[in-house]
Amino acid sequence: MLPDFNVKPTPNLCFGPGKLSRLAMLLKHFGSRLLIVIGGHSFISGSHWPGLRCDLLDHGFTFDLVHITGEPSPRDIDTICEKFSPGTIDAVIAIGGGSVLDAGKAVSAMLVENRPVAYFLEGIGIATPTGRKVPFVAVPTTSGTGSEATNNAVISSIGEIGFKKSLRHDNYIPDIALIDPTLTASCPRALTVACGMDTFTQLVEAYLSTSSSPFTDTLSLAGIQCVLRSLETTCNDGRDLAARTDMAYASYLSGIVLANAGLGTIHGFASAIGGFFTIPHGVVCGTLMAESNRAALMRLRHTGENPAALGKYANLGRMVGSEPIPDEQAQDLFITYLDALTEKLGVARLGTYGIGEDDLDKIVAHSANKDNPARFNESELHEILQARLAF
């Protein structure tokens, strides 16, 4: 008998190469006044913006452009919202990577809440958001965070007392996710690696999560299959559209499963590290992927605390192998694959970004272990980090 489970809403999805041409038509029922959130200047200086701009103008839209460079801070969100009076924006469109999508998601909510975003952030805020928002459309240009399908926006303040916290409500799931894999083709290799490893981590962590369900397991495995088939190809040949399409789909699925099953220790580390250090989120995930899963597998074997997770590790190993093999051999094969992938893709170690031995206590103290298949103690968390500090 299947267990009980719940599923959060998903966006109205428009997926496939060339779908950017449908954006103006999809926006018509929201109204004519748009706020478009983008990253730096790569999109508007690229080949896709002139056609989109003309299409929007031809359909009678007016729009303002705002830029987000780097991970959005509370000040970034508040500054954007202060520029627009309540009721003057009919829809917010975010076109960019995960940080841009998170910023757009937060802006769409705070334009209605009319309060500083920090007021509502998990862990530091003093109120729960109402869930009201201006309609929001997510157009990812990377395949990484899955923000195009999630109910949260990650807001960061980086420094000695920094944080990465979520603005979260089920109503914040985008109204529309328009995913055009051709928009990711110009991503440089380093960004493709980081984003791809973020997607891979999210899919694996959700699959192994103690809050997973048959629904999330099915989507996680479908996404993992796309990653196994196409991650290395996109990193080696970014113009391979079939591989880019695979990774765009995997990213979207990773957003759905993380919203419904939660994540594990790797993302717990990433939240803490990203608050204290300027380091790409996907690099943290990628560099800790093999070590965290190795430690989890060893602990599960030793304690026997989660037999279902051991079975899932065996399933993952059989996905990367080509022959039927016993469970323990398959589990080891998955870890071996992660080790090799980390090296092939050249994922940087934590020390590259200035993280040292003296920082580990602080990172561990602020790292969550929620939904992880193995319950690590502080010493084990230290060991995982230490293994990826330096060469």
Q: How many CB atoms lie within 10 A of CB 359?
A: 18
Q: 177 vs 160, 167, 255, 314, CA distance in Å? A: 35, 19, 11, 33
- Report the distance separating Cα 222 and Cα 250, nearest Å: 8
Taking alpha carbons only, the member of 200, 194, 340, 187 closest to residue 279 is 194
pTM, to two decimals: 0.96
Full pLDDT tens readout for the chain, 391 residues? 888 999 999 999 999 999 999 999 999 999 999 999 999 888 999 999 999 999 999 999 999 999 999 899 999 999 999 999 889 999 999 999 999 999 999 999 999 998 999 999 999 999 999 999 999 999 999 999 999 999 999 999 988 878 899 999 999 999 999 999 999 999 999 999 999 999 999 999 999 999 999 999 999 999 999 999 999 999 999 999 999 999 999 999 999 999 999 999 999 999 999 999 999 999 999 999 999 999 999 999 999 989 999 999 999 999 998 788 999 999 999 999 999 999 999 999 999 999 999 999 999 999 988 899 999 999 999 999 999 998 7
pLDDT at 382: 96
Q: What are the chain's domains? A: 12-183 (3.40.50.1970), 189-387 (1.20.1090.10)
